[in-house]
Structure 1
Amino acid sequence: MKILTANRLSDGEAVWLAADHSWSEAIDAAELAKDAATEERLERTGKAAFLKNEVVDVNLIDVEVVDGAIRPLRLRERIRAAGPTNRIDLGKQARPEIAVAA
């Protein structure tokens, strides 16, 4: 499975493409691509958002679903989903309303 991630251009925040084509700060809101057709559609949507200067660094990333939560397979993406590893009072992990993947 894959999801589409990017960084919002206005503030650099890591975001994920949700099913309603909005960019969510919460990874668990990301639309899951379970087939090649969905991956292609997500990539087209991401490219359009990039061309409109909404996001940068648009990438499909590999994920798994563990106990109903989306979890990136790569450590880099887990860190992007949660925030800095040296300060738990900063980043997404400091926001109780946002579930994190770390």
Structure 2
Amino acid sequence: MPRAFTPKVITANALLEGDVIYFTTTDTWTRDMACAELLTDEAHAQLRLIEAQQQVDYVVGAYLADAVAGDNGPEPTHFREEFRRTGPSNYFHGKQAETQPQDGQTV
């Protein structure tokens, strides 16, 4: 017997920047998972994924990721998606480093 469908969001990477992005209800992409469309119907999720994958000039590697409804929008259910959303946790790289104070600086 097949597993019951669990809610999903569509996620991908921005083609030029490589940032993690999420598909919204308005067929646009956001870097904020809380603004992503939470898909609760399997057939609708597959159709939305096809629509997202057609945006080859902007995204690469679109797929359905498990999520749950949170107080402020969808939240990841798996550590992999949390890691993708927040970036490395051991030290800062790239864009994460740009937002952190340097010796004596405040943000």
Taking structure 2 as the reference length, the TM-score comes to 0.74
Superposition map of 1:62-77 within 5 A: 62-77=66-81
Matched with 1:43 is 49
Give unpaired runs (5+ residues) of structure 2: 1-6, 101-107
Relative to structure 1, the CA distance from residue 31 to residue 69 in structure 2 (aligned partners, 3 Å threshold; closer, same or farther) is closer
Give unpaired runs (5+ residues) of structure 1: 96-102
Does structure 1 conserve the Cα–Cα contact (< 8 Å) formed by 2:36 and 2:73? Answer: no
Distance in 2 between residues matched to 1:69 and 1:38, nearest whole Å: 19
CA RMSD in angstroms comes to: 2.0
Distance in 2 between residues matched to 1:72 and 1:5, nearest whole Å: 11
Distance in 2 between residues matched to 1:28 and 1:87, nearest whole Å: 24
- Between the aligned residues of both structures, percent identity stands at 26
User: Whose Rg is larger?
Assistant: 2
Taking structure 1 as the reference length, the TM-score comes to 0.78
